[in-house]
Amino acid sequence: MIYQDIIQKIQEAGLRGRGGAGFSAHLKWEAVKNAPGEKKYVICNAAEGEPGVSKDGFLLENHPAEVIQGIRIAVEFLGAAAAFIYLRKDYYDKFQTKLKDAIGDLPIKLFKKTSGYLGGEETVLLEDMEGRRPEPREKPPYPTERGLYGCPTLINNAETFYDIARIAAGKYERKRFYSLSGDIRHPGVYELPEDWGVGKILQETDNWPEADFFVQSGGGASGEILTSAETDKPVGGAGAIIVYDRQKTNPVELMRRWTGFYLRENCGQCVPCREGVCRLNEILTQPEINWELLRDILFSLRETSFCALGNGVAAPFVGLLEKIIKNQSDGR
């Protein structure tokens, strides 16, 4: 069965990719469909290396058939030569049997990633699958034009393919999955309307904190910082909400935790990000923190890094500095 009308259905649903970038799904599918090339490929990205994000694992555990159906629709629509599910190591070990059962004789293969957090970036994923050092590629060309083995390639998140299957079946309700964690009563993954704000999600899941709090919204490393007064804002990124009790959370320790993560996951390809993260770590381990220098490094990371990782480093630091640390130092 060829789903000739799937583009129109995706467009009418207003679906945006669930991997974090939020790009319009129908535009990406159209780009691959219209790209010249004898072979085309489909990749389901289930790398999910962002701290605090666990929705793809939830989907692979509970809805593997829907994810596979979404991939199948893409393969048939594009006439793709093959499809791959790009899995982080623990997901591969845990879900390979369940996924293979759902795949059956479809032209879909599993790939165990060797990269870390950066494997979630689509060009790093391609480098890894082609057996090279997992580093970002320069864009353009984009994977829709020149992706796996130089062929036009559709890369979508596992949740995106789940939503595609729901759209094709007429069951899509404009919902998305949220990973809730931190200082809350009921951590877990919840499927709720995509336009709900952070506060409504916390209230409806019985997770609104009793103490004063702030949240990291979108992801646990690159997610933005929101105060309790800003929780009417919808959740972006990969759909994570991490709640921090303001009295129990040391902001500097939290920044050190983020820096440690980025030190481990940095590919080292570009100087601003490689050296900038090292300098952040040095500053945050000093007895007296040079806040002005720290802000300068964050500005450099945001403006000059080669890929989105460096920009992502800056976002939570700046939010924590301006909304939490500054207010504490001002006595608020």
Distance CA 217, CA 226 (A): 7
What contacts 170, CB < 8 A, 6 or more positions away? none
pLDDT tops 80 at residue 115:
no
Q: What backbone torsions phi and psi does residue 208 show, to the nearest 5 degrees?
A: -70, 120
Q: What is the CATH number of domain 251-329?
A: 1.20.1440.230
Q: What is the CATH number of domain 175-245?
A: 3.10.20.600
Positive or negative torsion for Cα 146, 155, 81, 14: negative
Name the residue with higher pLDDT: 51 or 232.
232
Superfamily, domain 6-168: NADH-ubiquinone oxidoreductase 51kDa subunit (3.40.50.11540)
Residue pointed to by tokens 């190591």: 89
**DSSP label at residue 196:** -
pLDDT band at 3 (very low <50, low <70, confident <90, very high): low
Specify the pLDDT at position 22. Answer: 78
pLDDT band at 269 (very low <50, low <70, confident <90, very high): confident
- Overall pTM > 0.75: yes
Give the mean model confidence (pLDDT) for residues 32-36. Answer: 96
Residues 178-220: tens digit of each pLDDT = 999 999 999 999 999 999 999 999 999 999 999 999 999 998 8
Give residue limits of the domains in the chain. Answer: 6-168, 175-245, 251-329
pLDDT tops 60 at residue 28:
yes
> Which residues on neighbouring strands pair with residue 108, listed in sequence order?
83
- Pairing outcome for strands 224-227 and 213-218: antiparallel
